[in-house]
Structure 1
Amino acid sequence: MRLGSIIHFSLRILTRDLKARFLAKLVDEQIITAGFVSMARADEKGRKVLAEQTRELIMILEKELVGKDFFGGKTVGFLDLVAGSVIPFCLERGWEGIGLEVISEEKFPEYKRWVKNLEKVDFVKDCIPPKEKHVEHMNHMGERIRSA
C-alpha cells in the first residue's frame, strides 16, 4: 500500500460522524462488556439475562444497517472496524463455545448480512482466526474466568 493510499484510507476511517462515534462507544462500553460477561457467568440464568441485554444493544446496530452493505455505506468505515473486530469473531464464537445463541439470522438479518459482507473484505479475511481453534480458545478463556 502506498503512503498516499494509506493517508486517504486513514482519513476515511477517522470519522467526524458523531453517530458512528456514539455507536462505537456503545459497542466498546456496553455490547462488549455485556457479551463477555455473559460468557463468563457460571449460572445459566445470569447468562440468559446478559444475552438478552446484548441482543437489545445489537438491535440498535441492526437498525443502522438497513439498506447498507456496511455501517459506512458501500465501504468499510470506522464503526465497521470497531464492531467487526469483536462482535462476530470473538463474542459470537465465544457464545458458540458455550452453546448460547445470541444473534440469530431470524432476528438479526441485516447484521448477519453485514458479517457476510465483512468476511469478503480482503484485509478483514486476513485477520480472522480459524473458527474451530478460536471457538476452542474462547471457550477455554471462559472456563478460566468462571473457575477463578
Structure 2
Amino acid sequence: MAKYDVDAEKLKQLESYIDSIEQKEGALIGVLYKAQEIFGYLPKDVQLFIARKLNIPAAKVYGVATFYSYFTMEPRGKHVINVCMGTACFVKGADKVLEEIKKQLNITEGNMSPDGMFTVDSLRCVGACGLAPVVMVDGKVYGRVKVEDVKSILDEYREGGSTQ
C-alpha cells in the first residue's frame, strides 16, 4: 500500500469497506460518503486512495467531491452548526443569531473552532419556516432561536450533551 498522510486505522476501515463492495463501478458516491463518515472530511490523500482502489482517475473523485455540497475537503468540528438564512429566518433575525454564534466561538462562517468542537455554516432554507429562525446542530433542530439562546445551545454541546 502506498504511503498516505492520514490515520492508518481509518484508512484500513475505508479499505475494508471498499473491498466489501462487489460492484465497484458506480460506487464512488457511496465510498465518498463512507470516507467522510470515517474521516470527517475528504483530505487529498483519501481521495487519491479512493481513486486507486476504485481504479478511476483522481480528477473524477475530486470532481464528484467538489460538485456535491455535502462533501467537504476541510476538517469539520465535532459538532456542525447550521443557521437557516432563508427569507422567513432572516426576517426573524437569523443573521443576528449567526453573528452571535460566530462571536461566542470566535470563528468565521465555514470554519472550525480552535478547540475542534464546532463548525458553523449557513443554509439557504431548511423548510421549517414556522419555527423561524432555525438553528440545526448535528441535525437537531432548534426553533424560534433568539440571540440570548445561543450560549445555552452551545453549552449543551460543550458539556457533551445532545449527540442525537
What is the TM-score when the length of structure 1 is the normalising length?
Answer: 0.30
Q: Which protein has the bigger strand share?
A: 2
Q: Which protein has the bigger helix share?
A: 1
Larger radius of gyration between Structure 1 and Structure 2: 2
What is the TM-score when the length of structure 2 is the normalising length?
Answer: 0.28
Larger RCO: Structure 1 or Structure 2 (Cα < 8 Å, ≥ 6 residues apart)? 1
